[in-house]
Amino acid sequence: MKASIAGKREERQRRQNYRERVKAMMSQAIPEKATTMEASSEKAITTEESSDKAAIMHSEAVAESVAASVLEDWSNIRDDAIIQQQNAIIAEEAEKMPFVGDKEALSALAAEYESGSSILKEKIKILEEKYAAIRRTRGDGNCFFRCFLFAYLEHVLESQDKTEVAHMLNKVEECKATLLGLGYLEFTFEDFVLSFTDLLEGVIQGTEASISYDELLDRSRNASISNYVVMFFRFVTSAEIKKRADFFEPFIMGLSNVTVEKFCQSSVEPMGEESDHVQIIALSDALGVPIRVVYLDNSSNGPSKLDVNHHDFIPSSTGSSSPNVTMLYRPGHYDILYPK
């Protein structure tokens, strides 16, 4: 009896050891900081379990039956089916809506809510006083980054603001240094950086690499460019959050009760993860670009005059400049807005 209790305690201790070891490993495993991990492959077990040959025989019998089935099972992995199904849904969505849509008059928004609530209709009327047009983006979880991509580059294309481009290229260099400092390997982000800087330099006219407005729109709709730039923004956002972990931690803990590291790993870096205030603040600060988000929802502030709320995300480094990137937020989705 005593022995079995001792045995149990030992097992508990073992389990505890596993957990601690795993924590250590996980923190090393992501991102690429695992170079100091011990080489455990050489350490062969010397304590042989001498009993129960029968159990080994059993294992071998199981193994043989398993062996026969291994190769046949290759073709019907459940995850494959799930991923295929997801891809089908994405493809279906893609046919309805490009990553970045065409510019539409704001009346298109009103048309969408014809049979909607009176609060929404009222708010859209207020929006129409200040805003001229809307450009929709695909609702694939990347819409915030996709809005930022197009609205920012369109602004630079129209303003031909070379100072802004130089400023942004500096910020990009800073972001690369931050990423390297955090332990990310250059090859994991260099292609994404290039996709963005190519577009950024391209929208400035008068060089061989210059691209037109139509070309910008085409490239923003092309997955192998658009997704790369979105991924660049995800890297930038994640790096900024990690760099200023002390600042972001209370927001993140309040939002989802996970660590900063885990938040970045699960809510920022994977494609398709939606963005909220934390991501917007981080991207805006990291790249020094002010962003205005206009909120359209069913909320009303009592009987007083209805208003449409907005929030300006002004990076600390730029002082109080007014936003050139404006987005319309409806719960769960961002589109681009154009002021009058």
Partner 1 sequence: MLDVSRVQKELVEIDRDKRISGVSITLHGDDISHLSGTISGPIETPYEGGTFQIDIQLPASYPFEPPKMQFLTKVWHPNISSQNGAICLDILKDQWSPALTLKTALLSLQALLSSPAPDDPQDAVVAQQYNQDYPTFVSTARYWTETFAKRSSLGIEEKVQKLVEMGFPESQVRTALETCGGDENLALEKLC
Return the residue of 6, 82, 88, 177 that touches partner 1, per CB under 8 A. 82
Determine if 56 is a binding residue for partner 1 (CB under 8 A): yes
Which range touches partner 1 (CB under 8 A), out of 16-24, 97-105, 119-127, 241-249?
Answer: 16-24
Determine if 36 is a binding residue for partner 1 (CB under 8 A): yes
* Of the candidates 233, 213, 267, 211, the residue with the CA atom closest to the CA atom of residue 100: 213
310 is catalytic: yes
264 is catalytic: no
CB nearer to partner 1: pick between 189 and 248: 189
Return the residue of 3, 5, 40, 214 that touches partner 1, per CB under 8 A. 40
Determine if 115 is a binding residue for partner 1 (CB under 8 A): no
CB nearer to partner 1: pick between 248 and 313: 248
Determine if 257 is a binding residue for partner 1 (CB under 8 A): no
Return the residue of 99, 148, 184, 233 that touches partner 1, per CB under 8 A. 184
Determine if 256 is a binding residue for partner 1 (CB under 8 A): no
Determine if 261 is a binding residue for partner 1 (CB under 8 A): no
Which range touches partner 1 (CB under 8 A), out of 63-71, 95-103, 104-112, 317-325?
Answer: 63-71
Which range touches partner 1 (CB under 8 A), out of 27-35, 98-106, 149-157, 212-220?
Answer: 27-35
Binding site for partner 1 (CB under 8 A): 7, 11, 14-15, 17-19, 21-22, 25-26, 28-32, 34-41, 43-45, 49, 55-56, 59-60, 62-64, 66-71, 73-74, 77-80, 82-83, 184-185, 187-189, 191-192, 227, 231, 234-235, 238, 265-266, 269-272
- Residues classed as catalytic: 140, 143, 310, 333
